[in-house]
Amino acid sequence: MTTVLPRSPAPPLESPVPPGRDRGAPLLLRAALVAIGAAPASMVIAPIGAAGTVAMLLTLLLGAFWLVSWTWGLHDPLAARHPGRLAVGALLLATVASSAALWLGTTGGSTVVTRAAGERWLLLVLASATLVTVVPECARSVAAAAQCARALLDGFVVCCLVALVQFLLHVDPVDWAPWVMPGFTPNGGDTPFQPRGALVRVAGTTFSPIELGVVASMLLPLSIWRAVYDRTGRRWAQLLRTGLLVLAVAMSISRSGILGLAVSTVVVLPFLPRVARHWVLVTAPVAVAGLFLSVPGLVSTLGGALGADASDPSISTRLDNYPRVVAMFDAHPLLGLGPGNYMPEDALHILDNQYLNALVTTGAVGVAATVVYLVLPGVTALHAAGTARSPELRCLAGALAAGTLAGAVCSLTFDSLSFPVFALAFPALVGLSGAAWLLVRHEEDPWTRPTS
């Protein structure tokens, strides 16, 4: 992927919504989107626990405001129906069903610990449903969608800068977070530094280098769309942000990150403007060569990671876990052990596959819902991109399809929804894809209703 794109001759972002009907993205929504990448995922309010991150709290607060405003009749949620709602609705129903079975004791055992894990998972799904629902209601124009995209991308730029400091200086700025985040404490479990080959892979503000690489690859197409069409801000700053995302994938030294980068590139290329697409194809080899030359040892380390076979520990442990998954599924085939209740004491037993994790924790019902949640938004965004008449909408929908499909594919290689940054970045992209789907569907007849 490249970091150099020419100024597109396409028109500036315009709103299909008549003046006065579109107020843009509210401050609380933009703050929640920024916090997904900018706030360290390991910092929580201790009494709340793992659900007490800044991004989770802001998103749940946003959901509470949305619910109250709906109760007071201040907005009509039925006006913004899109396929992403069906996807997250399926996940929510499967979670509720599995949680009910857990509380009734019909799964792997109802204890304080297992119920607490189920409650944390339910809060995560509710936060995801909030982003999937609220973003399209607020992004009623391409300009408003760009506001949301800027917030999400700018927050992750902070994450990339932290990763750059970690990679170059072997110092973790997240260690200083308690000084600037009173009331928050480290929750543990994050792995900011992991040796791989001749280098040390880093995580930025995420929990793991794998998460950093995957989320960066998911957001890269959206950043390219912004560099091509968004006229706000300075040109060099937009290109720098895009370059940081490419660098984040490299610094993660992650096979999953490379896989996500490949998927997102293949999907987004057909929807880029012709000039931008040509520049990507021409400059990508130069950018890759420059990256490898500037980071000694990167070629050998990445080559060793990508060329690993079944003897590699990270691959062999995945293969060794399959018989255990079959046994656990046979014991609780319909609703699983309960949401969030696969908690292996041995790191070698981590499944590193979200679909297998869903099969174990929420059973056949849950894994079907997980497939719908992770795959359906990307497929419908592809359809929207293929039918859009506006160039900026076509590219926006294609970029969101690329990001969500990259997340769906990479969920085969790590338990994605167990990682807090991915778990909120993905529904943010789903919400934006829902906004793009609505805007494409009603390019001539805006879906927003006149305000009284």
Render each residue's pLDDT in the chain as its tens digit; 452 residues. 444 444 444 444 444 444 445 567 899 999 999 999 999 999 999 988 889 999 999 999 999 999 999 999 888 888 888 999 999 999 999 999 999 998 888 876 778 888 888 899 999 999 999 999 999 999 999 999 999 999 999 999 999 999 999 999 999 999 999 999 999 999 888 889 888 777 889 999 999 999 999 999 999 999 999 999 988 878 788 888 998 999 999 898 888 898 999 899 999 999 999 887 877 777 767 766 666 665 655 655 566 555 555 555 566 666 677 788 888 889 889 999 999 888 777 666 778 899 999 999 999 999 999 999 999 999 999 999 999 999 999 999 999 999 999 999 999 999 999 999 999 999 999 999 999 999 998 874 444 433 33
What pLDDT does residue 197 have?
73
Token readout for 195 is: 């040796």
Of 176, 394, 185, the closest CA to residue 273 belongs to 394
Of 286, 301, 196, 200, the closest CA to residue 246 belongs to 286
Amino acid at 122: L
Q: Are 336 and 107 in contact (CB under 8 A)?
A: yes
Token readout for 154 is: 């700018």
Of 139, 99, 135, 101, the closest CA to residue 119 belongs to 99
The domain locations on the chain are 27-75+88-296+317-441
What pLDDT does residue 279 have?
76
What pLDDT does residue 450 have?
37
Q: Are 163 and 212 in contact (CB under 8 A)?
A: yes
| Cβ contacts of 446 within 8 Å, gap of 6 or more | 16, 17, 18, 21, 140
Q: Are 250 and 301 in contact (CB under 8 A)?
A: no
What pLDDT does residue 198 have?
75
Amino acid at 327: A
Q: Are 254 and 210 in contact (CB under 8 A)?
A: yes
Q: Are 308 and 314 in contact (CB under 8 A)?
A: yes
pTM for this prediction: 0.89
Give how far Cα 133 sits from Cα of 51, 63, 82, 424, 432, Å. Answer: 20, 9, 9, 13, 10
| Cβ contacts of 168 within 8 Å, gap of 6 or more | none
Helix orientation angle between 274-294 and 209-229, rounded to the nearest 10 degrees: 140
In DSSP notation, 125-143 reads HHHHHHHHHHHHHH--SHH
Amino acid at 209: P
Of 368, 354, 326, the closest CA to residue 412 belongs to 354
What pLDDT does residue 321 have?
77
